[in-house]
């Protein structure tokens, strides 16, 4: 099997990984221990594998690891600030916006990308930002409330 080197930045740390040319970013991130990147449908439908690439949410199941050369990747593992949770994470806890937790990393990363770009989103904009992340516990209302509450907190 031929291999190649990929240099990228994950959660603020420079990494150099040996990958196969056909490896998907999802598989490589999980192989390297980023288990917050969830393996769901592997077809770009469910959004559970979402990471931020240069600040924008993408489905890591649809991207080759080789395409992340030189990129800045943020996974859920990099969202907290040391021991202090991010305001979005706190808001998800406060609002009980978590059931089984499988979609939660993707919900929070999509919400973070939205708030970084637009600190005061409307409810409609929050719903649109979360539309690509499926929750099979049927818990959309609380995540939406949590994101809106976090946005209000950010405004202070």
Partner 1 sequence: MFDTVESFYRPGSVREALRLLQNGKNRARIVAGGTDLVVEADRTIRVLIDITHAGLSYIRRKGKACVIGATTTMATIENSPAIRALAGGVLARAAATCGSVQIRNMATLGGNLANGSPAADTAAVLLALDAEVVLADARGRRQIPLVDFYSGPRKSAAGKVLIVEVAIPALPRGGRWSFQKLGRTENDISLVNAAAGLQLDSKGRVRWVRIALGAVAPRPMRAVNAEKLLVGRQVDESALAEVCDEAAREARPITDVRASAEYRRETSRVLVRRALEECAAGTGCSL
Query: β-pairing, 4-10 with 72-74?
Result: parallel
Among 5, 7, 18, 21, binds partner 1 (CB under 8 A): 21
**Quick one: which segment of 9-17, 45-53, 85-93, 135-143 binds partner 1 (CB under 8 A)?**
45-53
**Quick one: which segment of 10-18, 78-86, 97-105, 123-131 binds partner 1 (CB under 8 A)?**
123-131
**Chain center to CA of 105:** 5
Question: Residues 87, 68, 78, CA angle at the centre, nearest 5°?
Answer: 20
Interaction between residue 129 and partner 1 (CB under 8 A): yes
Identify residues 88-117 at the interface with partner 1 (CB under 8 A): 110, 113
Element (H, E) at 130: helix 123-130
d(CA 107, CA 134) in angstroms, rounded, equals 9
Q: Can you give the binding site for partner 1, defined by CB under 8 A? A: 1-2, 4, 20-24, 42-44, 47, 50, 53, 56-59, 61-64, 66-67, 69, 110, 113, 128-129, 131-133
């Amino acid at each position: 099997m031929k291999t190649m080197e990929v240099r990228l930045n994950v959660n603020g740390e420079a990494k150099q990984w040996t990958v196969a040319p056909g490896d998907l970013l999802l598989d490589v991130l999980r192989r390297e221990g980023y288990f917050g990147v969830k393996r769901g449908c592997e077809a770009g439908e469910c959004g559970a594998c979402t990471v931020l690439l240069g600040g924008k949410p993408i489905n890591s199941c649809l991207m080759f690891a080789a395409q992340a050369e030189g990129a800045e990747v943020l996974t859920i593992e990099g969202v907290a600030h040391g021991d202090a949770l991010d305001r979005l994470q706190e808001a998800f806890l406060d609002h009980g916006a978590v059931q089984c937790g499988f979609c939660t990393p993707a919900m929070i990363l999509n919400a973070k990308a939205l708030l970084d770009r637009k600190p005061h989103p409307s409810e409609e904009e929050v719903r649109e930002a979360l539309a690509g992340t499926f929750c099979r516990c049927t818990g959309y209302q609380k995540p939406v409330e949590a994101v809106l509450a976090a946005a209000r907190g950010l405004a202070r």
